[in-house]
Structure 1
């Protein structure tokens, strides 16, 4: 018994030592980009098999009020919104209300070449539609309250960049159309559909459709960095990015989101797996994007990832299915990107877990 106890204590000490070393490694990775405690900062979290391995906040959530960042702060997540939009489309497909193979013209009859562009093309960024972020006149509507139809009308007559399915080119306009289709098919506003069918079912109590006017508890304020210091973020109408980038969340809620995907809380496995499938172009060439996620790898181990950027905020998350490992980081200044930080954190944890 004495030998068993000594062995257990030795194993425990080794585990605690390696865990402390991993924490120090993650701290040092984050501080390469988020080192100033008086500047806008970020929140980072590592979760494996439902257990939080690491969770820390850095810098200020509000510079003017001198409020320190905490792990429960709510951030705008930018293009990470796309994964929610993609799953919402698959929820509607599971209900028999649409098919990802449907042409856009089935729902928007006057959409140019809408008979050639499918929902699948929109989901995979292979539609060829001109991205509205590249249109110069965007500045004139950026602060206007736009309906989904008005947003689609804003860019639908632009000359396409290529034929549907010909190439992969990241595109926000396609996801605006998807948000509009969700409203047309469900009969609900996009934000209501997401709240009822995803946020509430997944237990994401601190996730919202973004607003600068609503009182949102624990909101992290967004900033830009100028040559003479930080300034408050540029105000835009969230009806413009809409279903391509207008959600808000916390790192802990995003862990709940990942859990909901893994356990079928919101959608069956057959439909969810469509989001994590690598598809092919018209010429048979594979590309590394499913529905709302980039399909990558870490040292040969398959991973799913996506980032986001919107005025004043940046976000990034990496999920490694074989290890049930989720790494996420949010920043409340678009001057600090968590993208490489989160990737380096994920690599460090994967290496530690494999040892």
Structure 2
């Protein structure tokens, strides 16, 4: 017979074990992150892990601004680079849901003079299978890097380059495709890309600390970006955000990125059928499937499927991993392109997966 005294003792032991496990988990996470983010006086980062919508880990490392000696906080705003592609892909699916476009449409339906535009579909732009030239690999990129470019000018910059392969023949990661998608979003919606993302995604998901990147506007709690040189850290190279545009020009926080993940899970932005289009694998022309949906790499951790994407832009790197079966989301944001959170975030996800499955 279990007495009240025994029950209290058992509960005390259980509570003590939970505290010990939580402390052990936190130490493992700290130790892993500090293998890369180990200079408290240098640029740093923010890492957050959530399980079923609740934070299991949320910490900042290093400095948000070296000149002001300002410590990083979990609330700091970072440029997220190519994680922008998730938002561009969902914006396209929102327009499809509204009946303003179809992912199987040829891009010539929207951009009349695009070379061979009748053979390239929106779907192929989303999945990096279009074959069009990636503008970041063009030698002339330096001539426009600091110019204010309209979306049409950006498309004109690369559209006449020879294609790398026939549409649908292979998967090859491509920034140009997502710039074209941003231009199509503007043409189909009648809004600028910035306004469309702000009104239809940021505001609906409650992402009040997310922005289209700018170096001029005052961004509260902005983390400043850095490069590392032989003699030490330097401020990031200045570029015009109209160049990466819809392929890499958004800013956000770890907390807002969790709100983004929740909005996707709860079908706040899209109906379930449209949402699932982003998270399924598609075949190439030869029938072979590849590990990318619309704006997400579809991989696995310990054999359990995940959705992930990283980002890299002057002065910043980012990485996010989501494990749907366990509702685990891990985000890492860095304000120096010398520190990559990619492998750390994947390892944090693995540790968390093992922890919640115990």
Q: Report the TM-score when normalising by structure 2.
A: 0.99
2:20 aligned partner: 17
Note the C-alpha offset of 1:37: 0.1
2:291 is equivalent to residue 288 of structure 1: yes
Q: Distance in 1 between matches of 2:237 and 2:43?
A: 15
CA distance in 2, matches of 1:206, 1:57: 17
After TM superposition, the structure 1 = structure 2 runs for residues 47-58 of structure 1, keeping only pairs within 5 Å, are 47-58=50-61
Per-residue CA deviations over 1:209-236 (Å, capped at 9, x if unaligned) read 0000000000000000000000000000
Structure 2 residue aligned with 1:301: 304
User: Which segments of 5 or more consecutive residues in structure 1 lack a partner in the other structure?
Assistant: none
Matched, 1:141 2:144: yes
Q: CA deviation at 1:50?
A: 1.1
The equivalent of 1:185 in structure 2 is 188
User: What does the per-residue CA deviation read over 1:111-165, in whole Å, with 9 as the maximum and x for residues that have no partner?
Assistant: 0110010000000000000000011111000000000000000000000000000
Q: Aligned residue for 2:247?
A: 244
5 Å-filtered alignment, 1:26-45, equals 26-45=29-48
Distance 2:31 2:311 in 1: 23
Q: What SS is found at the alignment partner of 1:237?
A: coil
The runs of 5 or more residues in structure 2 that have no matched partner are none
Q: Deviations over 1:10-29 (max 9, x none)?
A: 11111111111010000011
1:353 to partner: Cα distance: 1.2
Is 2:215 the partner of 1:212? yes
User: Deviation digits for residues 160-184 of structure 1, max 9, x if unmatched?
Assistant: 0000000000000000000000000
Match of 1:275 among 259, 266, 278: 278
Partner-residue secondary structure (3-state), 1:327: strand
Deviation at 1:4, TM superposition (A): 1.8
Q: What TM-score comes out, normalization by structure 1 length?
A: 0.99
Q: CA deviation at 1:109?
A: 1.0
Question: What residue in structure 1 maps to residue 5 of structure 2?
Answer: 2
Q: Equivalent residue of 2:154, what SS?
A: helix
Report SS of the residue matched to 1:37: coil
Structure-1 separation of matches of 2:304 and 2:13: 31
Q: What residue in structure 1 maps to residue 345 of structure 2?
A: 342
Aligned residues: 355
2:174 aligned residue (153, 171, 174)? 171
**1:256 is aligned to 2:263:** no
How far apart are the structure 2 equivalents of 1:100 and 1:354? 38
Consecutive aligned runs of 4 or more in structure 1 exceeding 4 Å deviation:
none
